[in-house]
Structure 1
Amino acid sequence: MNTLFIKQNFQHRWLIMFLLFVLINNVVIAQALPKVACGSVKRVENFSSRYVMPRNVDVWLPEGYTKSKKYAVLYMHDGQMLFDSTTTWNHQEWGADEAMCKLIASNQIKNCIVVAIWNTTQRHPEYFPQKPFYSMTNADQQRMLDIGKEKGTPLMGKGPVSDNYLKFLVLELKPYIDSHFSTRTDRQNTFIAGSSMGGLISMYAICEYPDVFGGAACLSTHWTGIFTNQNNPIPSAFLHYLDAHLPSPKNHKIYFDYGSKTLDSLYKPYQLQADGIMKAKGYTPKNWISLEFPGEDHSEKSWRKRLDIPLLFLLKK
């Protein structure tokens, strides 16, 4: 079979799947709280913002949570996918509660709460790093903006709004969390994590707000930005941005990983380039991990298998 046909078919199928993900996964209606393995979940419904669309925010509190203790905070994207597969569009979950339960119970990590930020119909524009996008030529920007237009669902919307998404996190959500829960508010106890586009926005967050976030976990980082690496200027823009804005290794931790199947099969060459940047900037295994997981695909079930690794890396006592 023609190789080009196979690649185009692969890209077309993934575009359809991602557009379906956006349509199915982003209905912010009344929904039961997720059932968790331990601890509890508090929901802030339709958290309003001056910067982005309102969305639900679920806050996972560990067993025995008390205001007499102070807790680190892990902000995680795609919040409706983290805890309970019976409530998700694809019946998969990260198992974030199970991983946190195990690591806290075994006294391997510091006390921590998880802030699960739901995505919306603007997921791609909100998670796509904005400054790298606008560093590309006008022609390349327009090519990206045209993706999905013929189906009436442009992937990028009117363009990335990730700067506003980060303002929402830093200027609105974090102050709310810190005032309503017993948290450690400093950089060394504030972390951010996500996968795919969520991996990109986590990388972008720690670069844009190095005084706020002390660590970032970027699983299956979607370096391609779209669904192909053919004639794609996006990875180069991301890598140039990372090279120019990577925060100091003296007080930051960064985790990257990727699999080898489905969308993850596109990432290795770009992750290797990112690894070169990390080394050149002085990062070592003490404050940076980059792992390959052969045979793993681009899904919650894969991220669930290895979530304990970045959690332990970021939150270790």
Structure 2
Amino acid sequence: MIIKEEIFIEPFNLSRMLHIYIPDEIKKGERFPVLYMFDGHNLFFDEDATYGKSWGIKNFLDKAEGKIIIVGLECNHEGNMRLCEFSPYSFTDKRFGFIEGLGKITVDWIVDILKPYIDEKYPTLSERKYTGIGGSSMGGLMSVYAVGVRSDIFSKAACVSPFYDHVFGRLANEISKSQFNPDTKIYISWGRKEFRGSKELAIGTEKNLAMARIFSSKGAQVFPHLIIEGEHTEASWEKELPMIFYELDLIK
């Protein structure tokens, strides 16, 4: 089932919708792993999705009999605030102008406020080994960042089509220097059709492989995937769900 509830984000002084998937049938005393995801409105239902197509995660988990809780955090839809809240670093873009990086605040709030709240209210397995983070595009960037700097909390990360423009060097540098728990699994993917031409594809591929090498050097088990027919769309990311959930051992 899907539960929608508002939660107040104190650092940003605003309320935000959570989109939460929990298994339909729960036995007494049964508890579940948790995957926190960005852009929660795009995860489950087409009617909620920004572009009219969701990831279809509910359908996938229902058919797979997935015993997991998904906590989707809806983005801030006002102006460029999604970019701000989902970027760890400030940057300037030709199209969007100056973007103030508030992503560290977002990750700290997820770790310090959201996770304890979810663990108290829902039947979760709260330990690190059962806690993951995931997302696509800016959410993919945030997932790389979150697992890179807070592997004390997240043991798994699904980093789908991560957005690296303007921030890759700072991201790679911070993660390279961070303390890291090697008992971590990381899925990183990028689609060939996301890039305009072979040069952009080569650059994008090298960035993702460079990030994979950084994590591997720290002892993580990394699953890098170039999706040959992959596009920067929810319909494309939906096709990756079996790889994401099974390679990260999110469901059996």
Q: 1:298 aligns with which of 207, 232, 235?
A: 232
Given the superposition, is the C-alpha separation of residues 185 and 211 from structure 1 closer, same or farther in structure 2, using an over 3 Å criterion? same
The alpha-carbon deviation at position 51 of structure 1 amounts to 1.4
Higher strand share: 2
Code of the aligned partner of 1:215: K
CA distances 1:223-268 after superposition (whole Å, capped 9, x unpaired): 225xxxxxxxx3222222232226232x211110101113584621
Given the superposition, is the C-alpha separation of residues 208 and 274 from structure 1 closer, same or farther in structure 2, using an over 3 Å criterion? closer
Q: 1:96 aligns with which of 57, 64, 76?
A: 57
Match of 1:68 in 2: 29
Match of 1:216 in 2: 157
The alpha-carbon deviation at position 66 of structure 1 amounts to 4.4
In 2, distance between residues paired with 1:262 and 1:252?
Answer: 27
Residues 164-243 of structure 1: pairs in structure 2 closer than 5 A:
164-225=105-166, 234-243=167-176
Given the superposition, is the C-alpha separation of residues 163 and 67 from structure 1 closer, same or farther in structure 2, using an over 3 Å criterion? farther
Q: How large is the RMSD of aligned CA atoms in angstroms?
A: 2.0
Match of 1:269 in 2: 206
1:86 lines up with 2:47 in the alignment: yes
The answer to whether the Cα contact below 8 Å between 2:152 and 2:181 also exists between their aligned partners in 1 is no
The answer to whether the Cα contact below 8 Å between 2:5 and 2:17 also exists between their aligned partners in 1 is yes
- What's the TM-score once normalised by structure 2's chain length? 0.88
The answer to whether the Cα contact below 8 Å between 1:51 and 1:167 also exists between their aligned partners in 2 is no
- What's the TM-score once normalised by structure 1's chain length? 0.71
1:145 lines up with 2:89 in the alignment: no
In 1, distance between residues paired with 2:179 and 2:165?
Answer: 19
In the alignment, structure 2 segments of 5+ residues that lack a partner are none
Given the superposition, is the C-alpha separation of residues 94 and 180 from structure 1 closer, same or farther in structure 2, using an over 3 Å criterion? same
CA distances 1:170-193 after superposition (whole Å, capped 9, x unpaired): 121111111111111110111110
**Percentage of matched positions with identical amino acids:** 28
In 2, distance between residues paired with 1:167 and 1:278?
Answer: 21
